[in-house]
C-alpha cells in the first residue's frame, strides 16, 4: 500500500515538475528564437518529447516509489530534490533565458544525478527496478547531444 501511495505522490510531483518546466518555457518552442536555432539533424518531432517524458516520469515514479520504501533517507531526498530542480531549471535556462551553455552544464549534471541513482541505489532489492531509469538516462543522453549541438553550431 505504501508503494502505491508513493507512486501516486511521485507521479503528482514529477508531472507537476514537467508542467512547471513547460510553464517556464512559455511559447519558446513556437517562438522566433527557437525556430531560428540551428538544431541537430536528429532532433525528433515535437510530439516525441511529450510521449517520451510521459514514459520517463511513469518509470521514474515507479522506481522512486520502491527506492523510498527501501531507503528513505535525507541523502536520497536531497538527491531527488537536486534532480527535480535540475530538470525543471533546464527549461528556464534554455528556452526562457537562452543560456544554452549553462543549460548544457545543467543537463549534464542532471544526467550524472540520474546515473548516480542507477549505480548507487541499484543494490539487490532494486537490482531489476533500476532499469526503470534507462529511458531517463537514454533520453538525457539524446537531449544533451541536442543541447550540445545548439551550443556548437549557433
Q: Which residue has the higher pLDDT, 28 or 107?
A: 107
CA–CA distance from 149 to each of 2, 16, 42, 120, 146 (Å)? 43, 28, 10, 30, 5
pLDDT, residue 9, reads 96
What's the topology of domain 2-153? Ferritin (1.20.1260)
Residue-wise DSSP of 90-151: HHIIIIIT--HHHHHHHHHHHHHHHHHHHHHT-SGGGTTGGGGGHHHHHHHHHHHHHHHHHH
d(CA 29, CA 21): 13
pLDDT in tens, 100-144: 999 999 999 999 999 999 999 877 777 889 999 999 999 999 999
Q: What is the pTM of this model?
A: 0.94
Q: Which residue has the higher pLDDT, 109 or 1?
A: 109
Q: Where are the domains of the chain?
A: 2-153
pLDDT in tens, 56-100: 999 999 999 999 998 888 999 999 999 999 999 999 999 999 999
Amino acid at each position: 500500500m505504501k508503494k502505491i501511495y508513493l507512486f501516486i505522490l511521485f507521479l503528482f510531483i514529477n508531472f507537476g515538475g514537467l508542467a512547471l518546466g513547460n510553464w517556464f518555457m512559455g511559447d519558446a518552442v513556437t517562438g522566433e528564437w527557437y525556430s531560428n536555432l540551428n538544431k541537430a539533424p536528429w532532433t525528433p518531432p515535437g510530439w516525441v518529447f511529450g510521449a517520451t517524458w510521459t514514459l520517463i516520469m511513469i518509470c521514474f515514479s515507479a522506481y522512486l516509489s520502491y527506492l523510498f520504501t527501501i531507503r528513505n533517507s535525507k541523502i536520497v531526498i536531497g538527491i531527488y530534490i537536486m534532480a527535480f530542480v535540475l530538470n525543471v531549471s533546464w527549461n528556464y535556462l534554455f528556452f526562457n533565458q537562452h543560456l544554452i551553455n549553462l543549460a548544457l552544464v545543467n543537463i549534464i549534471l542532471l544526467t550524472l544525478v540520474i546515473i548516480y541513482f542507477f549505480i548507487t541505489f541499484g543494490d539487490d532489492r532494486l537490482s531489476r527496478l533500476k532499469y526503470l531509469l534507462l529511458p531517463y538516462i537514454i533520453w538525457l543522453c539524446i537531449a544533451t547531444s541536442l543541447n550540445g549541438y545548439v551550443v556548437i553550431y549557433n
